[in-house]
Copies of this chain bind each other. A is one copy, B any other.
Amino acid sequence: MKKIVVLLSGGMDSTTLLHELTECYDEVAAISFNYGQKHKKELEYAKKTCKKLGVEHKIVDISVFNELIDQSSLTGDIPVPHGHYEEESMKQTVVPNRNMILIAMATAWAVNKGYENVAYAAHSGDHAIYPDCRPGFFFYLDRAVNEGNYGNVHLRAPYINMDKTDIAEIGLKMGIDYDEETWTCYEGGFSPCGKCGACVERAEALELAQKRIDMDKSHSH
């Protein structure tokens, strides 16, 4: 019996990961966090996906987190920057040490449930500005998770060396309807703003992934 807890934001990457893991693990449970993000809407999408896949879903309110930080545009009063992730302005969207906090809590839940794996959907597109999505961070945190829990738990990051287009390609091939099933925009308005870094990257990844799929199809005829 292989059991895994997945950190699910409700965005493209973690939603794709959840879909993939339900196909290769015996038991899958998802955990989402309300940390006062402006784009809280993603949680509704997370809920919907878990319902569809029949996966246990836990939402934990850690908005107390905001007492500790005041400098990220994802939670504070600073406007969300527009453009690409690589740009300096996107550093404003870094919530210090966020992934370690979320992974640490997901691990506690996993241990309590007797699950031996925790997964998160870090990928190479985030490496440039989010250090807690990089392979080095993942490498050491996995070992800390393992050492800290009697050698019983491992952290998984299957997308760590893939980019958003690779992930979109997996998801499109699995039939995920990204517009219906995921939320990406950092603004959290009625419909996606189309301008923030998250929106821009998403649109590019989906377009490129679809082109790849179409090319594969045309070549196989």
Contacts and interface: CB of A to CB of B under 8 A. Distances in A.
A196 to B, nearest CB: 22
Contacts of A132: 147-149
Classify the interface of chain A: helix, strand, loop or mixed.
helix
B144 A100 contact: yes
A124 to B, nearest CB: 15
B64 A97 contact: no
Number of copies of this protein chain within its complex: 2
Interface string A111-130: 11000000000000000000
Interface string A47-61: 000000000001011
A23 interface: no
A98 B112 CA distance: 12
A108 interface: yes
5 contacts: A58-B68, A68-B105, A69-B112, A137-B144, A137-B147
The 5 nearest A-B residue pairs measured at CB = A96-B111, A140-B144, A140-B143, A141-B144, A132-B148
